[in-house]
Structure 1
């Protein structure tokens, strides 16, 4: 199913504005684990099982695992407020493209 931003932008902005408002009281690690669907850190073997990727090509899954690790590492020094502000800005900018 396709996700049409212009059809769901209000929900998306409501989510990120809520994150921004409550950022100081949200456990960023817990939120990240919830969104990824598993606890962190996670070993490659456990990640494979958790994501149900055991039957996929090992080269591809290693790459995906490294991508996720890089994503998580890249967020280490970024506050939840910064992430929320960035996402709000990105979606607002994207919305302008749909309106024009």
Structure 2
């Protein structure tokens, strides 16, 4: 499951510069220019970094919830139902815009 979702992310984010992967958050994250864009948790959940300014827009999409690690809500990150194309496309577009505006590491 993790590999299929990771392949899906790589395909959807292929237009972003300097893509790489890194183990983070107990899973594997897709990075662009040294910044996390999205990732797959060990349990197969899809997490997307939309950025705090985009949280409200992301949470309006069906299939999107705030990302939690234990009892803590992670600001700027959402969990996405990757079987929902609208949620996936919408959150990845927000993530692409947010991460592209950050300076390269």
TM class by shorter-chain length? under 0.3
TM-score normalised over the length of structure 2: 0.26
Report which of the two has the higher share of strand. 2
When Rg is computed on C-alpha atoms for both structures, the one with the higher figure is 1
Report which of the two has the higher share of helix. 1
TM-score normalised over the length of structure 1: 0.27
